Amino acid sequence: MKTKSMARWILILATAIFAIGHDTYAQTIERKVTVTVRPAQTVEERVADEVKEKELRKVAEEKSAEKESAKIAETSPKKMLGRARLVYVESGTSFFEPIQLQNALRKRVEFDAWEMAIIDSGDKRNVADVFIEIDRPLFTYTFTYKITHRGTGIILATGKVTAFDGNDAAPKLAKRIVEEIKKARGEATTTK
């Protein structure tokens, strides 16, 4: 092991001397080269360095996770829902089509006043601020909704309405969702 290390350093030194000698013939400027020879690390030193590196990475990951959780904790679901501008609607049931809620939301005056938009394309869903998921448990007339913040996965609002079918449920769901957004924005809700 020691002879290999010495042979390697002799080769490095010889290369440096050759480069210095070659430089002096090629150019008239004199250059000084400093070569520092350090012994190779022992196995124990390498293992110790690897352990230190793992510990430092772990500490850095923990700090990053703490910052991320603090960032999430700072933002309340109410504020996130109030700032939402782009909406993606999806359905988890065959009894309700996303287009039904999209149309009902577009008919709402508040939706236009808040300058909100609906994303219809599934490949663009990652652009949306919030996801609205509609579902209907089997053998019930209950339609549930869940509004989730895309970036954090935090559930911003949930609720349910009772309706015979998707056509009857869509305007009721739109009304409830708009009421949730009004509360989040701090606007007074009016009942009709």
Residue 105 burial (10 A CB sphere; 0-12, 13-18, 19+): buried
Query: What percent of the chain is predicted at pLDDT more than 90?
Result: 52
pTM (2 d.p.): 0.60
Whether residue 120 is predicted with pLDDT greater than 70 in this model: the reply is yes
Section 148-165 average pLDDT: 92
pLDDT tens, position by position, 43-61: 888 888 899 999 999 999 9
CB 87 within 8 A of CB 132: yes
Section 177-181 average pLDDT: 95
